[in-house]
Protein backbone atom coordinates (compact mmCIF):
# COMPACT_ATOMS: atom_id res chain seq x y z
CA UNK A 1 0.00 0.00 0.00
CA UNK A 2 1.39 3.40 -0.97
CA UNK A 3 2.09 5.90 1.79
CA UNK A 4 -0.52 8.62 2.18
CA UNK A 5 0.60 12.02 0.91
CA UNK A 6 -0.25 15.25 2.74
CA UNK A 7 -0.26 18.92 1.79
CA UNK A 8 2.88 20.97 2.39
CA UNK A 9 2.95 22.32 5.93
CA UNK A 10 1.47 25.81 5.99
CA UNK A 11 -0.30 25.32 2.64
CA UNK A 12 -3.87 24.39 3.45
CA UNK A 13 -6.73 22.74 1.59
CA UNK A 14 -9.97 24.69 1.49
CA UNK A 15 -12.97 22.37 1.64
CA UNK A 16 -16.75 22.71 1.72
CA UNK A 17 -18.53 24.04 3.67
CA UNK A 18 -15.73 26.46 4.63
CA UNK A 19 -15.24 27.39 0.98
CA UNK A 20 -18.72 28.94 1.03
CA UNK A 21 -17.49 31.70 3.35
CA UNK A 22 -14.65 32.43 0.91
CA UNK A 23 -17.07 32.65 -2.00
CA UNK A 24 -19.30 35.00 -0.02
CA UNK A 25 -16.35 37.18 0.99
CA UNK A 26 -15.06 37.33 -2.60
CA UNK A 27 -18.52 38.47 -3.74
CA UNK A 28 -18.40 41.33 -1.20
CA UNK A 29 -14.97 42.34 -2.49
CA UNK A 30 -16.11 42.36 -6.12
CA UNK A 31 -19.08 44.56 -5.21
CA UNK A 32 -16.81 46.90 -3.24
CA UNK A 33 -14.30 47.32 -6.05
CA UNK A 34 -17.01 47.88 -8.62
CA UNK A 35 -18.51 50.58 -6.41
CA UNK A 36 -15.22 52.52 -6.45
CA UNK A 37 -14.38 52.00 -10.11
CA UNK A 38 -11.47 49.60 -9.56
CA UNK A 39 -10.89 46.99 -12.26
CA UNK A 40 -9.52 43.50 -11.83
CA UNK A 41 -5.94 42.59 -12.83
CA UNK A 42 -4.43 39.10 -12.70
CA UNK A 43 -0.69 38.51 -12.77
CA UNK A 44 1.35 35.26 -12.80
CA UNK A 45 2.09 33.46 -9.56
CA UNK A 46 5.74 33.10 -10.63
CA UNK A 47 7.80 36.23 -11.35
CA UNK A 48 11.51 36.96 -11.91
CA UNK A 49 13.32 36.98 -8.57
CA UNK A 50 14.90 40.31 -9.51
CA UNK A 51 11.46 41.96 -9.43
CA UNK A 52 11.10 41.42 -5.69
CA UNK A 53 14.75 42.04 -4.84
CA UNK A 54 14.55 45.39 -6.61
CA UNK A 55 11.15 46.46 -5.28
CA UNK A 56 10.80 44.99 -1.79
CA UNK A 57 14.46 45.54 -0.82
CA UNK A 58 17.42 43.20 -0.70
CA UNK A 59 17.83 43.47 3.08
CA UNK A 60 14.18 42.93 4.04
CA UNK A 61 13.03 39.79 5.85
CA UNK A 62 10.94 38.79 2.85
CA UNK A 63 13.85 38.74 0.40
CA UNK A 64 16.47 37.49 2.83
CA UNK A 65 14.53 34.69 4.49
CA UNK A 66 10.99 34.16 3.24
CA UNK A 67 10.83 33.92 -0.56
CA UNK A 68 10.33 30.63 -2.37
CA UNK A 69 12.97 31.07 -5.08
CA UNK A 70 14.40 28.55 -7.53
CA UNK A 71 16.39 28.25 -10.73
CA UNK A 72 14.43 27.34 -13.85
CA UNK A 73 15.97 24.06 -15.04
CA UNK A 74 15.19 24.92 -18.67
CA UNK A 75 17.02 28.25 -19.03
CA UNK A 76 18.66 28.97 -15.68
CA UNK A 77 16.38 31.95 -14.96
CA UNK A 78 15.98 32.90 -11.29
CA UNK A 79 12.27 32.71 -10.42
CA UNK A 80 10.18 33.28 -7.28
CA UNK A 81 6.67 32.42 -6.13
CA UNK A 82 5.20 35.85 -5.50
CA UNK A 83 5.39 36.89 -1.82
CA UNK A 84 3.16 39.93 -2.51
CA UNK A 85 1.42 41.43 -5.54
CA UNK A 86 2.07 45.17 -5.62
CA UNK A 87 5.39 44.72 -7.42
CA UNK A 88 3.77 42.32 -9.89
CA UNK A 89 0.92 44.76 -10.62
CA UNK A 90 3.42 47.57 -11.21
CA UNK A 91 5.53 45.30 -13.42
CA UNK A 92 2.44 44.50 -15.52
CA UNK A 93 1.49 48.19 -15.74
CA UNK A 94 4.98 49.10 -16.94
CA UNK A 95 5.28 46.17 -19.34
CA UNK A 96 1.91 46.86 -20.98
CA UNK A 97 2.05 50.68 -20.73
CA UNK A 98 -1.24 50.84 -18.82
CA UNK A 99 -0.73 54.47 -17.81
CA UNK A 100 -0.41 55.81 -21.35
CA UNK A 101 -3.80 57.56 -21.09
CA UNK A 102 -3.83 58.44 -17.39
CA UNK A 103 -4.17 56.85 -13.97
CA UNK A 104 -5.61 53.40 -13.37
CA UNK A 105 -7.50 51.95 -10.42
CA UNK A 106 -6.82 48.21 -10.18
CA UNK A 107 -7.53 45.36 -7.78
CA UNK A 108 -6.34 41.78 -7.45
CA UNK A 109 -6.83 38.66 -5.37
CA UNK A 110 -4.98 35.38 -5.09
CA UNK A 111 -2.40 33.24 -3.29
CA UNK A 112 0.97 34.54 -2.06
CA UNK A 113 3.88 32.50 -0.73
CA UNK A 114 6.36 33.09 2.09
CA UNK A 115 8.62 30.51 3.69
CA UNK A 116 8.07 31.05 7.40
CA UNK A 117 6.95 29.13 10.46
CA UNK A 118 3.21 28.54 10.10
CA UNK A 119 1.04 29.93 12.87
CA UNK A 120 -2.44 31.34 13.26
CA UNK A 121 -2.94 34.09 10.69
CA UNK A 122 0.42 33.42 9.02
CA UNK A 123 0.76 30.61 6.50
CA UNK A 124 3.25 29.66 3.81
CA UNK A 125 0.53 29.94 1.21
CA UNK A 126 -1.85 32.73 2.12
CA UNK A 127 -4.31 34.83 0.19
CA UNK A 128 -4.55 38.55 -0.33
CA UNK A 129 -6.96 41.03 -1.82
CA UNK A 130 -5.39 44.32 -2.86
CA UNK A 131 -6.27 47.66 -4.42
CA UNK A 132 -3.72 49.76 -6.31
CA UNK A 133 -4.27 53.31 -7.63
CA UNK A 134 -1.52 54.06 -10.16
CA UNK A 135 -0.83 57.55 -11.50
CA UNK A 136 -2.58 59.63 -8.80
CA UNK A 137 -0.48 61.94 -6.63
CA UNK A 138 -2.86 63.70 -4.27
CA UNK A 139 -3.93 62.85 -0.71
CA UNK A 140 -7.45 62.26 -2.02
CA UNK A 141 -6.49 58.83 -3.35
CA UNK A 142 -4.78 57.91 -0.07
CA UNK A 143 -8.01 58.78 1.76
CA UNK A 144 -10.17 57.01 -0.84
CA UNK A 145 -8.26 53.76 -0.38
CA UNK A 146 -8.52 53.98 3.40
CA UNK A 147 -12.25 54.70 3.25
CA UNK A 148 -12.70 51.84 0.78
CA UNK A 149 -11.28 49.47 3.39
CA UNK A 150 -13.58 51.02 6.00
CA UNK A 151 -16.58 50.34 3.78
CA UNK A 152 -15.51 46.71 3.47
CA UNK A 153 -15.45 46.37 7.26
CA UNK A 154 -18.98 47.77 7.35
CA UNK A 155 -20.12 45.35 4.63
CA UNK A 156 -18.64 42.45 6.57
CA UNK A 157 -19.94 43.59 9.95
CA UNK A 158 -16.48 44.05 11.50
CA UNK A 159 -16.56 46.75 14.16
CA UNK A 160 -13.35 46.36 16.15
CA UNK A 161 -10.76 47.20 13.47
CA UNK A 162 -8.90 50.47 14.04
CA UNK A 163 -6.76 52.64 11.79
CA UNK A 164 -3.13 53.66 12.40
CA UNK A 165 -1.31 56.21 10.22
CA UNK A 166 2.22 57.45 9.68
CA UNK A 167 4.19 59.40 7.10
CA UNK A 168 7.55 58.12 5.83
CA UNK A 169 8.32 61.28 3.90
CA UNK A 170 10.60 61.33 0.86
CA UNK A 171 14.01 59.66 0.31
CA UNK A 172 16.07 62.71 1.33
CA UNK A 173 14.05 63.11 4.53
CA UNK A 174 14.44 59.43 5.35
CA UNK A 175 18.18 59.71 4.72
CA UNK A 176 18.51 62.49 7.30
CA UNK A 177 16.49 60.44 9.74
CA UNK A 178 18.57 57.35 8.96
CA UNK A 179 21.82 59.11 9.93
CA UNK A 180 20.33 60.15 13.26
CA UNK A 181 18.82 56.71 13.81
CA UNK A 182 22.10 54.90 13.16
CA UNK A 183 23.98 57.24 15.49
CA UNK A 184 21.35 56.72 18.20
CA UNK A 185 21.38 52.93 17.99
CA UNK A 186 25.18 52.81 17.75
CA UNK A 187 25.29 54.62 21.08
CA UNK A 188 23.03 51.90 22.55
CA UNK A 189 24.36 48.79 20.79
CA UNK A 190 24.46 46.89 24.06
CA UNK A 191 20.64 47.03 24.14
CA UNK A 192 20.11 45.76 20.59
CA UNK A 193 19.17 42.15 19.90
CA UNK A 194 20.97 40.12 17.26
CA UNK A 195 18.45 40.90 14.51
CA UNK A 196 18.62 44.65 15.20
CA UNK A 197 22.42 44.66 15.19
CA UNK A 198 22.30 42.97 11.80
CA UNK A 199 19.94 45.66 10.48
CA UNK A 200 21.76 48.60 12.04
CA UNK A 201 23.61 49.69 8.90
CA UNK A 202 21.57 47.93 6.23
CA UNK A 203 17.99 48.85 7.19
CA UNK A 204 17.85 50.71 10.52
CA UNK A 205 14.26 51.89 9.99
CA UNK A 206 13.09 48.30 10.41
CA UNK A 207 14.50 48.26 13.96
CA UNK A 208 11.58 50.52 14.88
CA UNK A 209 9.23 47.69 13.95
CA UNK A 210 10.80 45.20 16.37
CA UNK A 211 8.48 42.96 18.36
CA UNK A 212 11.12 42.39 21.07
CA UNK A 213 9.54 43.65 24.33
CA UNK A 214 12.98 44.28 25.85
CA UNK A 215 13.69 46.89 23.18
CA UNK A 216 10.44 48.86 23.38
CA UNK A 217 11.73 51.62 25.65
CA UNK A 218 14.82 52.06 23.47
CA UNK A 219 12.74 52.24 20.30
CA UNK A 220 10.21 54.65 21.82
CA UNK A 221 13.01 57.11 22.61
CA UNK A 222 14.58 56.90 19.12
CA UNK A 223 14.63 59.91 16.76
CA UNK A 224 11.28 60.27 14.96
CA UNK A 225 11.03 60.41 11.20
CA UNK A 226 8.11 62.84 11.38
CA UNK A 227 10.47 65.43 12.88
CA UNK A 228 12.52 65.36 9.65
CA UNK A 229 9.63 65.88 7.26
CA UNK A 230 9.66 68.91 4.97
CA UNK A 231 6.73 71.18 4.15
CA UNK A 232 5.44 69.21 1.14
CA UNK A 233 5.43 65.90 2.99
CA UNK A 234 3.68 67.44 5.98
CA UNK A 235 1.08 69.09 3.73
CA UNK A 236 0.33 65.77 2.05
CA UNK A 237 -0.01 64.04 5.42
CA UNK A 238 -2.23 66.82 6.77
CA UNK A 239 -4.35 66.55 3.63
CA UNK A 240 -4.95 62.86 4.22
CA UNK A 241 -5.86 63.47 7.86
CA UNK A 242 -8.24 66.31 6.99
CA UNK A 243 -10.12 64.15 4.47
CA UNK A 244 -10.41 61.30 6.95
CA UNK A 245 -11.70 63.61 9.67
CA UNK A 246 -14.26 65.06 7.24
CA UNK A 247 -15.43 61.51 6.52
CA UNK A 248 -15.76 60.76 10.23
CA UNK A 249 -12.93 58.25 10.25
CA UNK A 250 -10.91 58.11 13.46
CA UNK A 251 -7.22 57.21 13.45
CA UNK A 252 -4.08 57.11 15.56
CA UNK A 253 -0.74 58.45 14.34
CA UNK A 254 1.85 55.75 15.04
CA UNK A 255 5.41 57.08 14.46
CA UNK A 256 6.76 53.51 14.64
CA UNK A 257 4.64 52.33 11.72
CA UNK A 258 7.23 51.76 8.97
CA UNK A 259 5.93 48.71 7.02
CA UNK A 260 8.19 45.85 5.95
CA UNK A 261 8.75 46.85 2.33
CA UNK A 262 11.33 49.36 1.14
CA UNK A 263 9.22 50.94 -1.61
CA UNK A 264 6.88 52.99 0.62
CA UNK A 265 6.99 56.78 0.95
CA UNK A 266 4.71 59.45 2.41
CA UNK A 267 1.47 57.90 3.76
CA UNK A 268 1.53 54.43 5.31
CA UNK A 269 -1.37 52.90 7.22
CA UNK A 270 -2.56 49.73 8.91
CA UNK A 271 -5.96 48.46 9.97
CA UNK A 272 -5.33 46.47 13.15
CA UNK A 273 -7.25 44.41 15.68
CA UNK A 274 -6.56 42.96 19.12
CA UNK A 275 -8.43 39.73 18.36
CA UNK A 276 -5.71 37.96 16.35
CA UNK A 277 -2.86 37.93 18.83
CA UNK A 278 0.55 38.77 17.39
CA UNK A 279 -0.85 38.82 13.84
CA UNK A 280 -3.01 41.87 14.51
CA UNK A 281 -2.63 43.63 11.14
CA UNK A 282 -5.63 42.89 8.95
CA UNK A 283 -5.02 45.34 6.10
CA UNK A 284 -2.02 47.53 5.33
CA UNK A 285 -0.66 49.77 2.63
CA UNK A 286 0.44 53.23 1.67
CA UNK A 287 2.02 55.34 -1.02
CA UNK A 288 4.91 54.07 -3.18
CA UNK A 289 5.61 56.88 -5.63
CA UNK A 290 9.07 55.66 -6.68
CA UNK A 291 8.26 52.04 -7.47
CA UNK A 292 7.04 52.49 -11.05
CA UNK A 293 10.29 54.19 -12.06
CA UNK A 294 12.28 51.68 -10.01
CA UNK A 295 10.79 48.82 -12.03
CA UNK A 296 11.60 50.54 -15.31
CA UNK A 297 8.62 52.74 -16.10
CA UNK A 298 8.24 56.49 -16.46
CA UNK A 299 8.01 58.19 -13.04
CA UNK A 300 4.45 58.10 -11.74
CA UNK A 301 2.87 58.17 -8.26
CA UNK A 302 1.01 55.21 -6.78
CA UNK A 303 -0.81 54.10 -3.65
CA UNK A 304 -2.49 50.91 -2.50
CA UNK A 305 -3.28 48.35 0.17
CA UNK A 306 -3.54 44.61 0.68
CA UNK A 307 -5.53 42.58 3.19
CA UNK A 308 -5.06 39.02 4.42
CA UNK A 309 -8.11 36.95 3.53
CA UNK A 310 -7.47 34.28 6.16
CA UNK A 311 -7.20 36.92 8.88
CA UNK A 312 -10.43 38.65 7.87
CA UNK A 313 -12.33 35.37 7.76
CA UNK A 314 -10.83 34.44 11.13
CA UNK A 315 -12.28 37.67 12.56
CA UNK A 316 -15.67 36.91 11.04
CA UNK A 317 -15.64 33.41 12.52
CA UNK A 318 -14.67 34.73 15.94
CA UNK A 319 -17.52 37.22 15.80
CA UNK A 320 -20.00 34.47 15.11
CA UNK A 321 -21.21 36.21 11.98
CA UNK A 322 -23.32 33.75 9.94
CA UNK A 323 -22.01 33.48 6.40
CA UNK A 324 -24.72 32.41 3.95
CA UNK A 325 -23.88 29.13 2.26
CA UNK A 326 -25.15 28.43 -1.25
CA UNK A 327 -28.16 26.12 -1.15
CA UNK A 328 -30.03 24.49 -4.03
CA UNK A 329 -33.63 25.27 -4.77
CA UNK A 330 -34.42 21.59 -5.25
CA UNK A 331 -33.02 18.10 -4.77
CA UNK A 332 -34.28 15.45 -7.14
CA UNK A 333 -35.06 12.11 -5.47
CA UNK A 334 -35.07 9.21 -7.91
CA UNK A 335 -37.42 6.61 -6.45
CA UNK A 336 -38.02 4.87 -9.80
CA UNK A 337 -34.90 3.99 -11.78
CA UNK A 338 -36.52 4.13 -15.28
CA UNK A 339 -37.30 7.82 -14.61
CA UNK A 340 -33.58 8.75 -14.63
CA UNK A 341 -33.50 10.21 -18.15
CA UNK A 342 -36.66 12.23 -17.52
CA UNK A 343 -35.33 13.42 -14.15
CA UNK A 344 -32.04 14.49 -15.72
CA UNK A 345 -33.78 16.41 -18.50
CA UNK A 346 -36.12 18.06 -15.98
CA UNK A 347 -33.12 19.15 -13.93
CA UNK A 348 -31.56 20.69 -17.04
CA UNK A 349 -34.78 22.53 -17.90
CA UNK A 350 -35.07 23.90 -14.36
CA UNK A 351 -31.44 25.11 -14.46
CA UNK A 352 -32.18 26.82 -17.78
CA UNK A 353 -35.01 28.61 -15.95
CA UNK A 354 -32.49 29.91 -13.42
CA UNK A 355 -33.02 27.42 -10.59
CA UNK A 356 -30.29 25.50 -8.75
CA UNK A 357 -30.97 21.78 -8.77
CA UNK A 358 -29.09 18.76 -7.39
CA UNK A 359 -29.86 15.40 -8.98
CA UNK A 360 -29.31 12.43 -6.68
CA UNK A 361 -26.47 10.27 -7.97
CA UNK A 362 -26.08 6.58 -7.23
CA UNK A 363 -28.48 4.12 -5.72
CA UNK A 364 -30.26 4.50 -2.42
CA UNK A 365 -33.55 3.92 -0.70
CA UNK A 366 -36.25 6.56 -0.65
CA UNK A 367 -35.47 7.20 3.01
CA UNK A 368 -31.74 7.68 2.46
CA UNK A 369 -32.33 9.94 -0.54
CA UNK A 370 -34.72 12.11 1.46
CA UNK A 371 -32.09 12.43 4.20
CA UNK A 372 -29.59 13.64 1.61
CA UNK A 373 -32.17 16.03 0.20
CA UNK A 374 -32.71 17.55 3.63
CA UNK A 375 -28.96 17.70 4.36
CA UNK A 376 -28.34 19.53 1.08
CA UNK A 377 -30.24 22.56 2.36
CA UNK A 378 -32.64 22.43 -0.60
CA UNK A 379 -36.00 24.10 -0.19
CA UNK A 380 -37.83 21.31 -2.01
CA UNK A 381 -37.47 17.65 -2.79
CA UNK A 382 -38.69 16.65 -6.25
CA UNK A 383 -39.66 13.00 -6.15
CA UNK A 384 -39.70 10.88 -9.31
CA UNK A 385 -41.63 7.76 -8.23
CA UNK A 386 -43.21 4.97 -10.24
CA UNK A 387 -46.75 6.40 -10.00
CA UNK A 388 -45.56 9.91 -10.84
CA UNK A 389 -43.58 8.63 -13.82
CA UNK A 390 -46.61 6.82 -15.22
CA UNK A 391 -48.77 9.93 -14.82
CA UNK A 392 -46.22 12.42 -16.23
CA UNK A 393 -46.09 14.13 -12.85
CA UNK A 394 -43.68 14.84 -10.00
CA UNK A 395 -44.15 15.10 -6.24
CA UNK A 396 -42.96 18.46 -4.89
CA UNK A 397 -42.30 18.27 -1.14
CA UNK A 398 -41.39 21.34 0.93
CA UNK A 399 -38.35 20.76 3.18
CA UNK A 400 -38.02 24.18 4.81
CA UNK A 401 -40.26 26.49 6.82
CA UNK A 402 -41.09 29.87 5.35
CA UNK A 403 -41.34 28.79 1.71
CA UNK A 404 -45.00 27.83 1.49
CA UNK A 405 -46.31 24.27 1.47
CA UNK A 406 -44.81 23.77 4.95
CA UNK A 407 -44.65 20.06 5.80
CA UNK A 408 -46.82 19.48 2.70
CA UNK A 409 -46.41 17.98 -0.70
CA UNK A 410 -48.33 17.99 -3.91
CA UNK A 411 -48.28 16.30 -7.29
CA UNK A 412 -47.54 18.61 -10.19
CA UNK A 413 -47.64 17.92 -13.92
CA UNK A 414 -44.25 18.08 -15.62
CA UNK A 415 -45.75 19.57 -18.76
CA UNK A 416 -45.98 22.44 -19.06
CA UNK A 417 -42.97 23.08 -16.84
CA UNK A 418 -44.33 26.46 -15.75
CA UNK A 419 -46.35 24.88 -12.94
CA UNK A 420 -43.29 23.24 -11.37
CA UNK A 421 -41.23 26.43 -11.78
CA UNK A 422 -43.97 28.41 -10.04
CA UNK A 423 -43.94 25.93 -7.16
CA UNK A 424 -40.18 26.14 -6.72
CA UNK A 425 -40.16 29.93 -6.99
CA UNK A 426 -42.94 30.31 -4.38
CA UNK A 427 -42.00 31.86 -1.04
CA UNK A 428 -44.26 32.36 1.92
CA UNK A 429 -45.35 35.98 2.30
CA UNK A 430 -44.37 35.94 5.96
CA UNK A 431 -40.87 34.63 5.29
Domain boundaries, the chain: 18-169+229-318, 330-425
Q: Is the pLDDT of residue 407 over 50?
A: no
Reported as a single tens digit per residue, the pLDDT across 7-20 is 999 999 999 888 88
If you average pLDDT over every residue of the chain, what do you get?
90
What pLDDT is recorded for position 64? 76
What pLDDT band is residue 431 in, cutting at 50, 70 and 90? Answer: very low
What pLDDT band is residue 400 in, cutting at 50, 70 and 90? Answer: confident
Q: Count CB-CB contacts under 10 A for residue 406.
A: 11
Reported as a single tens digit per residue, the pLDDT across 79-105 is 999 999 999 999 999 999 999 999 999
Task: Over range 327-356, report the average pLDDT.
Answer: 94
Higher-confidence residue of 321 and 48: namely 48
What pLDDT band is residue 429 in, cutting at 50, 70 and 90? Answer: very low
What pLDDT is recorded for position 28? 96
Q: Is the pLDDT of residue 120 over 80?
A: no
What pLDDT band is residue 119 in, cutting at 50, 70 and 90? Answer: confident
* Percentage of the chain exceeding pLDDT 90: 63
Task: Over range 18-39, report the average pLDDT.
Answer: 94
Q: Is the pLDDT of residue 138 over 90?
A: yes
The reply to whether omega before 97 is within 30° of 0 (cis) is no
Reported as a single tens digit per residue, the pLDDT across 153-197 is 999 999 889 999 999 999 888 889 889 988 998 888 888 888 888
Describe the strand order of the beta sheet including 302-308 as a list of residue ranges. 39-40, 104-113, 125-134, 302-308, 281-287, 265-272, 162-167, 252-253
C-beta separation of 283 from 129 below 8 A = no
**Side-chain-facing half-sphere of 329: CA atoms under 13 Å:** 17
What CA–CA distance (Å, rounded) separates 69 from 297?
A: 25
- Tally of residues, the chain: 431
Task: Over range 12-29, report the average pLDDT.
Answer: 91
Reported as a single tens digit per residue, the pLDDT across 156-168 is 999 889 999 999 9
Q: Please list the alpha-helical segments (H only) found in 200-266.
A: 216-220, 231-246
Determine whether domain 18-169+229-318 maps to CATH 3.10.20.30.
Answer: no
For every residue of 134-172, DSSP letters joined together read: ES--SHHHHHHHHHHHHHHHHHHT----EEEEEE---HH
What pLDDT band is residue 121 in, cutting at 50, 70 and 90? Answer: low
Choice among 52-56, 287-291, 292-296 with the minimum mean pLDDT? 52-56
Superfamily of domain 330-425: Anticodon-binding domain (3.40.50.800)
What CA–CA distance (Å, rounded) separates 288 from 302?
A: 5
What pLDDT is recorded for position 430? 34
Higher-confidence residue of 300 and 217: namely 300
Q: Which residues lie across from 252 on neighbouring strands?
A: 164
Given the DSSP bridges, would you call strands 302-308 and 265-272 parallel, antiparallel or unpaired?
unpaired
Amino acid sequence: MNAKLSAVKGMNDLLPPQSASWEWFEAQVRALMQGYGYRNIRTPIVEPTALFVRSIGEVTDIVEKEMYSFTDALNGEQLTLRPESTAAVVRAAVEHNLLYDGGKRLWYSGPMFRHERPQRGRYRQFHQVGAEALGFAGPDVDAELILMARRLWHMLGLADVRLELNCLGQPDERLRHRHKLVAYFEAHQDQLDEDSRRRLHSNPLRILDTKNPQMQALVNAAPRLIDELGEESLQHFEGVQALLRAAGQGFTINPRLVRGLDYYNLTVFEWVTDRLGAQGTVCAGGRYDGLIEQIGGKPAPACGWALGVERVLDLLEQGGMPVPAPQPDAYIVLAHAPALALAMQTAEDLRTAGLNVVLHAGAGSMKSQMKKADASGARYALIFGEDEYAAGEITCKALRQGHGLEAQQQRIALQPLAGLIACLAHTDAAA
